[in-house]
Every structure is written in C-alpha cells, then in structure tokens.
Structure 1
Amino acid sequence: MNNFSYTKVKNTEQAISQLNGDIRNKIVAGGTNINDLLKYFITKADKLVDINSISENKSIQRLDNGGVRLGALHTNADTAYDPIIEERYPLLSKAILAGASAQIRNMATNGGNLLQRTRCYYFYDINTPCNKRDPGSGCSAIKGYNRIHAILGQSENCIAVFPSDMCVALAALNATVNISGPEGDRVLAFAEFHRLPGDTPNIDNNLKHGEVITSIDLPEKGFPENYSYLKLRDRSSYAFALVSVATAFDLQNNKIKEARIALGGVAHKPWRVIEAEDFLKDKEPTNENFSAAAKIILQGAKGYEHNEFKIELAKRAIIRNCFMALNPETQRPGAKPSL
C-alpha cells in the first residue's frame, strides 16, 4: 500500500475543502471497497478524508413531498432494516439484504454503495491489461474468462459490470442523488449517475472531483404491494449477481397501471429500459406480455465466449420476477413463484 496522509472531518464543507478537487485525494467511510483498492495497488491516494463524523448524513428522514431521504453515511444494514424502508420501500430492503454479507452491510454506507467499483477479475489483477484501471492498455476480459461480464451497454474498451444490488432497486424506484461540491449543491437523477464505458471506462460515474454524496432521495411512491428482487448467482450467498432483477408494479383491476423493471449484473450500470415499462402499461400481467417486455429490455444484448448464457438467463429472470412481484409472499425462503 502506498503512503498517504489521513484526516477526519466533521462536516461536508470540511470534506470538500480537504478533497480540494484533486483526484489523488479520496474519501473513506465504511471502507469496504476502497481499502481493497488501495491494498492491491489498483488505486492510489495522497490523502484519505474520513467523513464518518458527519452526523447530518447518517439519518433517514421523511420529506415534505412524501418521499424519504437516505443519509449517505447511513449503513446498508440500518437502511435495510429501518421500519420506514421495510414498510414503504420493501424492494430496496430486499435488494440490500441480497448483497454482500451481514458484516459488510454493517460497515458499508449508502453513498459508498453507489461508488463501488467493478469486481472484474482483470481489474483486480494489476499484471493484466485493463482499460478501467489503466486507460489505453486494453480489455483482457473480451477474449478472456468473461462469465460474469456484460451483455448490454458494453464497448470494445470494457465489458465489466457494476456489482451493486442496492443500486438496481434505486434505479427502479427513480431515486435522486444529492451532491455537494466546490461549486455548490446539485441533484442528479439516479439514471444519470452511473456511466456506460464508451471510450472512457475508467470514469464510473458523473460525480466530479471534489464532490461528496450527501444523501439519496426516494420519491413518495415505493410500490409496497407488488414488488420483487431476484438475484441469480453461482452460490446462494456472498456472491455477485450473474443476473439480478428489481420489479415493481402498480396493479389495478388486474391491469398494470405502472411498471418498473431494472437489471443488475448485465451492464456497466443498473439497466432500465423505459420502453418496456411503457409497453406493459394498461396490459394484463401475463406470460405473453412479460415475455414481450423482456425482449424489449434485452434488445441488442451481446454475449461472449463464456457468458452468452446470460442472455437467456436474463430473459427468464425478468419473466419469473414479474410473476413474483404479483405476489411478494413468494419471496419467503422455500416458496415457489406462482407461474
């Protein structure tokens, strides 16, 4: 690990000042990702700015508009088990609890979850080319072992996927991200926060140097009646998703009045296709309609030598999770979806 200085701050203004807009200065909160990045020489820091003492970013608050604000420093565990989240946004609670281990969720923060980096094998192996780690060096995954890699939104420069479960649910719920920086405060729609790789796979998101995530806002509508989070992985715990799906419906008289479907494990960011959700509007929740929506979502999907199976897996996962959302009780351990 390289040498760096360390400082603790008490408020967001101090954090911004200490970061000083310099990419070599990094924030540390729960540390569940950046510690590994530093330890394995994937990233370097001249200064670590510890923001754990910023108390105003550690709470969950009800908003005047009916929504809820998640503090960026509130832990994943405390968020998932918060009574407000369990009651009004159970999709988010389920997604968080599907991720990592209990120990990591106890440390990981909401803001850090948005900023975690890919778990691509080659990204973590500094002896192999990786455009995300070393721009211009090449992508080892394209012709390498790419079982866990992207089938949507990828480029010739990078086929890594974003690993978060929480963020898949936040994408489906139309969350927004509150950001503070040297130029003041701003709000970013969640769909605009993460980036596709394109020609700059080393840039994961649209957070500017020196900016700090302070909180995440959820809109009033949380779809507490019809929702489901499905995570398919190589083992049942402590594994990243091959494919995950967050689904939420507003059902009235056996018609879908509103649909939300977001995928994880398939792209550089949570994958959501509005056209598929619009297609389901005012339609009955049938296998035929869910299959058609899945086809729209997966249009343009491209597999590689070891992950082509993910296209069919994603299609089946979308359909299955849509049926599961009709009856959230199917998410209990051992229960079977009512297909």
Structure 2
Amino acid sequence: MSMSVQQLDLPEQFAPPVDEPFDMGQLRDAPSLNDIDTEKWDPVFNDPGHLVHVLITVTGDTHATVEREVAAIDVIFEVGTSQASLTEVKRIRGDVRPGDQAGHEHFGYLDGISNPPIEGVPPTPNCVPPFPRTFVLFSENDPGPVWARDGSFLVFRYLFQLVPEFDDYLLENAHPGMPKELGSKLLGAKLVGRWKSGAPIDLSPTEDNPDLALRNDFLYEGPGNERRCPLGAHIRKTYPRDDTTTPSPILRRGIPFGPEVTPEERAAKKTLHDRGLLFVCYQRSIASGFRTVQRGWANDTNFPKDQTGFDPIIGRCGAGRIRTMRGTHPDDMAKEISFPTEFVVPRGGEYFFSPSIRALGEVIALSSDPPRSSGCCFA
C-alpha cells in the first residue's frame, strides 16, 4: 500500500523526503517523460482534481485468494459505507500468462531478470552484477525521520502493449540473410537485448539458448560487443551495466494484464483488446531513479553513446517525431531503423511513497486521525 502523507492528515514531521517528481505527481510530470498524449490516459489518472492517492497491490496463487484479501481490505477501510476512509476508483486484474508463457510479458520475453540486487540480500544464482544498490531511504545512522527508514518511492505505470503490431514489425523488418521467421526472432532479440527465453543476446548472439535464460552475470565489454547487443537495446538502455558509471537506480517488477492475443488480432495484425503490463519500480528518488531511466536513458538518443537512438520498446520521442535506433544491421552498424508505431503506450500512472512495515505499524496506524483518501487504485 502506498500513499501520500498529505492524504493521511499526518503531522508535518511525518512528511516524506523532498522529491520533485513526487511532489508534482505523474500527470504534471508527464511532459518531462515525453508523455505528450495524456488526454488518452485512463480518466482515473488524467483528472488533476481527483488524483489517485493510494495504490494497493494484492497478489495470490488464485483469483479467489486475491478476492478474499481484497474483501478483507474493504472491511478494514469500511469501503462502501458512510465511514469509508478509502474510495475505490479503479481495479485492474493482472494475470500470470498461461502454460510455458508463465513469467513472460505479452511480447513473449521472460521478464524480471535484469534487476540489480538489494544490498544485504544474497544475490540469486548467475547474478554477479557490477552495481549493487540500496533502494530504500535512510538507515539506522542516516539523518531523516525514523518512520521513513526502509521506505521507498514507488512509481506505477499503466502500460498497454500492441502485440500484433510488434510481431508484424519484426516479420516485415526481419534480420537480413536468414529465413524470415528466424530473422524476426533475431531482430526481436536485438531490440530487447534478450531472446524470448531470457537468454542475453550478449552471451548468445546468433540463436536462443534457454540454458542461459536467467543469466545476469555479464558486462557489455570486449571487441564486437555492439554487434552482439546494440547500444539501444531495451535492457542495455535501462540497465547499462558497464556502459556508464551510474548505478542502475531502480528495482522493477511488472505483471501482465489482459487477454492473450486472439486469432482475429493475428489475422488483422492489429490490437483489438486491451493488454499490457502493470509496472512498478522502487527507488530512493524518482528524480534520479525512474525519471533518469525513462527521460535520461530510454528517451535520449545519445545514451549511452552519440547517435544510439531511442529505446525501441519504451522510448518516447514526443510529438512530430519518429523513433529510430542504430546497430541492428549486421553489415552497417550506422544504418538506422525506424519505428512508426509505439509498441508500448502509457495510459496513466502515479508516483507514491511506500512506507515500511515499521512506519505502518508505529506511525500511520497510531496517528490521531484515521487516514482518509479520495482515490484508491487496486492492482
């Protein structure tokens, strides 16, 4: 559960640390992200007068488990009664994709691999990242309010994915010199930076290798590294490893929502049903965290090197421009490819502060006034 302290009527000393994007909210910050079409956002997120102040995420092994927990939350906050301290404004149901697609997002790529570790938590196997990072605020010896220790700024993004359009683009622009089906898979791997199994293209540059699916212990180094993995590939843009001395500033996670692509959509090569990713990330600072990754890395055509191009998956170019990137052609690394379609389309989101369990139990729950909020979004 994440909320604005102002909406809890807590004393001023409980206000979270200053963070410009957090204070602005994502709607007002949208132009800095090149989200220029906020009029197309979900109405819940684009109304300046009725912003979402609380995000509650409930996960479980079945829909029934989740619904029971949501019902318990409704009771706690007396939702639907005259004494309600929360008003639910939207509920979004995420789902693990079926069968062998479990753990994969809707484009088909294994998700959630390239997270840097949390300091103090043993790394997962095959994970020897170059930049360990703490994603929470303060520690026992740091200045700042006691209640904010171990809290984190949280970013929520409501991202829609145009899967038939993405798949058609890969086929129509398949990597040259190979059968179209194989060439489309290789182009997809070059745009994402991993094969659909999760194997890094940096370690397996010509074909998928499921045995490497969870490998995270690699750097973009050595001769020919840009031929193996383009500088503009999604995972290289958003977690650049040794391409920059700046540590990866966010810890991210997403869950798919919406149905599987239908035969009608495949035939039409057009998205007819809403689907995408419920994306969240945690950071010490939204300004130096999410905003840096989106604006300073994914949207910057000169990161990590001059004339790299946009992140082909989440890069945003603003009005009147078409995204391009370099490095996918085997014989001409300077050759540009263009993306007339945005394959990932933001439809809203918000910035939150996520307090620690200690803060929830020792500060918020014991505040003199019960927390009340005008907007609540379940994810």
Give me the TM-score of the superposition, normalised by structure 1.
Answer: 0.24
Q: Radius of gyration: which is bigger?
A: 2
Which protein has the bigger strand share? 1
